[in-house]
Amino acid sequence: MTSDTPTKTDISYDYKNAVEQILKELRRDRDRQIIARRFGFGMNRRQTLEKIGNDFDITRERVRQIEKAAIAKMRASEAAEIMRAEELLRSIVSEAGGVALSAQVASALGAGEQDIPYIVFLAMLSTNLELIEEDDDLRQTIAISPVYSRSQINQLIAEIVKTVKDHSKPITVAKLRSKLPSELEAITLEQLMRVSKKLAFFDGKWGLITWPEVNPKSIRDKTYLVLNRHGRPLHFSEIAKHVRGLGSNKRDVTIQAVHNELIKDERFILIGRGIYALAEWGYTPGTVAEIIASVLREEQPLHKDEIVRRVLMKRQVKTTTIILNLQEKDQFQRTAKATYKLKD
């Protein structure tokens, strides 16, 4: 897995108290409440302009105006707590390569998910940091300003996504870095990919979020990924065991569910008793008799031992099973001692 930078800082910092002190810059209690509710301090989610307006019997627009004026006042105050917060947050983000998810910065300060709004608020008041709000393409991010503005981050991520797409398969950070038009430190590149909602990471490599190789969702995708990673045929029960432990969202997957996917998908070829391989490895579907026939169509007649050798390259079955098929199936004709061809 990628590193979980930035790591938790050794500096003890009471971010809740810092926010409380900064809010005291606002003289009216209503203004403080509006800011607290708009950012969602101590709440499961931030409140809407409409909800706050209804509670205070004012319009949505008036709530927006109060919020905007309050933020401008706090930013202009140059309060010691704001300076202290900026210094600490900037240090954490700098160590992360200049760009970090707000959740990562919060984690570095020992803040849980519910306390992320406090960190976001402090970052928003910092003049040398840029708070990038979440949208359809980006996750909420804190970046060093002006080096990494929203437009610059969008441009860099567009380059990264294009390069990954052109590579057409999952890629390591080191290889991706060597292919990018822009020069980026490895840690910055990794952080930018974390920020993008178009990219996903799995098993040491990055790829497009739509690629099952890095973002397997269905049992079928995970089954393919298990076989592809092992690079050899596996029994369906063993495949199911690996599927259960695949990815971060581990869930109970029955052996039967995996077996059903193996049976239905043409990418998976049964090559033995419960043993499956990928068709892309050169395996073709068919019974043992059908495989013998395909071998003889390539060259005949052939000695029994040579037929067995070639069939075992395509199937994991017992030698006796191959010999019995040669002897008992009407489609094969013995031409000499232990030598066979296809019947005319």
User: Has residue 256 got a pLDDT over 60?
Assistant: yes
Buried b / exposed e along 73-105 (16+ C-beta atoms within 10 A): ebeeeebebbeebbebbbebbeebbbbbbbbbb
**Which is more confident, 251 or 165?**
165
What confidence tens digit (pLDDT) does each residue in 86-145 have? Answer: 999 999 999 999 999 999 999 999 998 999 999 999 999 998 999 999 999 999 999 999
pLDDT for 12:
76
Which pLDDT band, with edges at 50, 70 and 90, does 247 fall under? Answer: low
User: Has residue 2 got a pLDDT over 70?
Assistant: no
Q: Which amino acid is at 173?
A: V
User: Has residue 320 got a pLDDT over 90?
Assistant: yes
Q: Average per-residue pLDDT in the chain? A: 92
User: Has residue 280 got a pLDDT over 90?
Assistant: yes
The structure tokens listed for 170 are 């999952």
pLDDT for 262:
96
Distance CA 240, CA 234 (A): 10
Q: What percent of the chain has pLDDT over 70?
A: 95
Q: Is the pTM of this model over 0.75?
A: no
User: Has residue 249 got a pLDDT over 80?
Assistant: no
Distance CA 157, CA 206 (A): 13
Q: Which amino acid is at 226?
A: V
pLDDT for 44:
86
* Cα dihedral sign, 312-315-321-322: negative
User: Has residue 9 got a pLDDT over 70?
Assistant: no
Q: What percent of the chain has pLDDT over 90?
A: 84
User: Has residue 205 got a pLDDT over 60?
Assistant: yes
What confidence tens digit (pLDDT) does each residue in 221-239 have? Answer: 999 989 988 999 999 999 9
What confidence tens digit (pLDDT) does each residue in 284-315 have? Answer: 999 999 999 999 999 999 999 999 999 999 99
What confidence tens digit (pLDDT) does each residue in 55-77 have? Answer: 999 999 999 999 999 999 999 98
pLDDT for 77:
86
User: Has residue 1 got a pLDDT over 50?
Assistant: no
pLDDT for 5:
54
Distance CA 92, CA 108 (A): 7
Instruction: Tell the residue number behind the tokens 């109060």, with chain if given.
Output: 66
Instruction: Tell the residue number behind the tokens 């050899």, with chain if given.
Output: 232
pLDDT for 8:
52
User: Has residue 168 got a pLDDT over 50?
Assistant: yes
Q: What is the 3-state secondary structure (H, E, C) of 77-127?
A: HCCHHHHHHHHHHHHHHHHCCCEEEHHHHHHHCCCCHHHHHHHHHHHHHCC
Distance CA 330, CA 180 (A): 61
pLDDT for 245:
78
